[in-house]
Amino acid sequence: MVGSYGRFTLSLSNFQTNKLHILHYTKHHRQLQSTMSNVVLLTATLLALLAVTFTIFKPHQTLFAPPQLPASKDLLHASRILHVTGALGPESLVFDRHGGGPYTGVADGRILKWQGDELGWTDFAVTSSNRTECVRPFAPELEHICGRPLGLKFDKKSGDLYIADAYLGLKVVGPEGGLATQVLTEAEGQPFRFTNDMDISEDEDVIYFTDSSSVFPRRQFMLVLLHGDKTGRFLKYNKATKEVTVLLRGLAFPNGVALSKDGSFVLIAETSTCKILRLWLHGPNAGEVNTFAVVPGFPDNIRRNSEGEFWVALHVKGTRFSRWITSNAWIGKALLKVGFNFKQLHSSISGWKPHATAVKLSEKGEILEVLEDSEGKKLKFISEVEEKDGKLWIASVLMPFIGIYNL
Q: Give the N- to C-terminal CA distance of the chain in Å, as an integer.
A: 103
For residue range 23-47, list pLDDT tens digits in order.
454 455 455 455 445 545 555 555 5
pLDDT score recorded for residue 269: 98
For residue range 195-219, list pLDDT tens digits in order.
999 999 999 999 999 999 999 999 9
Q: Are 224 and 216 in contact (CB under 8 A)?
A: yes
pLDDT score recorded for residue 19: 45
CATH number for the domain that contains residue 272: 2.120.10.30
Q: Is residue 286 part of a domain?
A: yes
Which residues make Cβ contacts (< 8 Å) with residue 274, sequence separation at least 6? Answer: 294, 295, 296, 297, 298, 299, 318, 323
Counting the structural domains of the chain, the total is 1
57-76 average pLDDT score:
72
What is the Rg, in whole angstroms, of the alpha carbon atoms belonging to the chain?
A: 25
What is the rounded (10 degree) CA torsion for 85, 89, 91, 96? -20
Q: Is residue 373 part of a domain?
A: yes
365-376 average pLDDT score:
96
For residue range 240-259, list pLDDT tens digits in order.
999 999 999 999 999 999 99
pLDDT score recorded for residue 30: 55
For residue range 326-349, list pLDDT tens digits in order.
777 777 777 777 777 777 777 777
pTM (2 decimals)? Answer: 0.84
Q: Is residue 222 part of a domain?
A: yes
Q: Is residue 14 part of a domain?
A: no
pLDDT score recorded for residue 183: 98
Closest CA to 329 of 184, 397, 230: 230
Q: Is residue 381 part of a domain?
A: yes
Q: Is residue 38 part of a domain?
A: no
Closest CA to 297 of 387, 386, 372, 231: 372
pLDDT score recorded for residue 81: 97
Q: Is residue 50 part of a domain?
A: no
For residue range 100-115, list pLDDT tens digits in order.
999 999 999 999 999 9
% of the chain surpassing 70 pLDDT: 84
Q: Are 152 and 161 in contact (CB under 8 A)?
A: yes
Q: Is the pLDDT of residue 51 over 90?
A: no
What SS3 state is found at 218?
helix
What SS3 state is found at 144?
helix
pLDDT score recorded for residue 45: 54
Domain, as residue range, for 367 = 76-326+355-406
Look at the chain and count its residues. Answer: 407
Pairing of strands 121-126, 178-179: parallel
% of the chain surpassing 90 pLDDT: 72
Give me the chain's average pLDDT, please.
87
Q: Is residue 349 part of a domain?
A: no
Confidence of residue 2 (pLDDT cuts 50, 70, 90): very low
